[in-house]
Amino acid sequence: MMTLNVQLEQEAEGRWIAAVLDLSRVCCGPTREEALAKVRALALRAVVDRIEHGKATADLDAFSFESAA
C-alpha cells in the first residue's frame, strides 16, 4: 500500500496550505477541506504520471492519505 502524508497549515490571513511532501506537491484553498481536496487530486495525478512513465516504485494496489494538521 502506498501512503501519502499530507501536511496542512493555515496562514495568518486564513488561507490553507496542503502539501504532499513525498511528491513535492502543494496546493492552497480558502478552507481546509478545499486545500485537502486539491492536493489529493494533484497527488493522484502525479502518481498516475509516474505509473505511465514506468517510475512508480511502490505497491499501488491500494492508496491512503494520512493528514497531519
pLDDT digits (tens, 9 = 90+) for 20-65: 988 888 999 999 999 999 999 998 898 888 888 887 765 666 667 7
Give the Å distances, CA to CA, from 30 to 13, 16, 50: 10, 6, 29
Q: What is the pTM of this model?
A: 0.77
What domains, with CATH codes, occur in the chain? 2-68 (3.30.2390.10)
